[in-house]
Structure 1
Amino acid sequence: MIPNSIAYKKAFDLAVEIVKVYKNLTEDRKEFVMSKQLLKAGTSIGANLAEANGAISQADFSAKISISYKESLETKYWLDLLNTTHFLEQTLYDKLYQKADELSKILFSILKKTRIKQ
């Protein structure tokens, strides 16, 4: 996993958008709990991919990819909850959820390949 990989780029792009949503939710909507959880999960995906880049073994790499994958699933959960409770507009939710879902699929594919090699 290198910083210019597709997964890393998509994770970074999603993290930037999540930070903007967090800022809007806290400043304009005064929502602090769910938005903080979304911020943590949504930015953790790329952070764990960055750590995977420095993995010292195949097992370490696979573990970091696994964490990134789980964080992508958690991000989708918080997006669902924020949408259902009407804190996110449907179009914004659709856009972010699609990005998080695509990233989840990419990460799961990488995870399957790394687990098969072990």
Structure 2
Amino acid sequence: MDNNNLYKKCYAFAIRIVKAHQHLSTEKREYTLSKQLLRSGTSIGANVAEANGGISVADFSSKISLAYKESLETKYWLSLLKDTGYLGATIAESMIVDADELSKILFSILKSTRISPKDGAK
């Protein structure tokens, strides 16, 4: 998968995250968890965008590593919001599947740069 397709997937996911945040804050009046979701969910694509402008393989890998970690955090917030009843199971599961797909793609990119996720964030 080229980085342009990854960027598009991340951007589309970020739009879903923004809409979920809007729903949570206006309809459910939930502000704290939804803010965490907004931050981590939109950060995935922002880090991919930065990675695309990386000046070295190490710089690229570092930003992809950050995006990977943000995708894992986003799955956590989505699960928590689902299990506490703030998000319906269907929408939450759909978004978790999308976040999981991004996580797998990002991890695959990390493996191909031969820098482990733990080392890539230095």
TM bucket, shorter chain: over 0.9
Q: Deviations over 1:33-74 (max 9, x none)?
A: 000000000000000000001101100000000000000000
Distance of 2:10 and 2:36 partners within structure 1: 16
TM-score (norm 1): 0.93
Displacement over 4 Å in runs of 4+: none
Shift of 1:115: 2.0
Question: Matched residues in 1 for 2:8 and 2:96: separation?
Answer: 16
- The alignment covers a number of residue pairs equal to 114
Residue 60 of structure 2 corresponds to: 61
- Return the TM-score normalized by structure 2: 0.90
Gaps of 5+ in 2: 116-122
Is the partner of 1:43 in helix, strand or coil?
helix
Identical pairs, percent:
59
| Partner of residue 20, structure 1 | 19
Q: Secondary structure at the match of 1:115?
A: coil
Q: How does 1:63-82 map to 2 (within 5 A)?
A: 63-82=62-81
In the other structure, the counterpart of 2:118 is none
Give the Cα separation in 2 of the matches to 1:54 and 1:102: 23
Instruction: Map residues 1-118 of structure 1 onto 2, 5 A cutoff.
Output: 2=3, 5-115=4-114
RMSD between aligned alpha carbons?
1.0
| Amino acid aligned to 2:62 | A
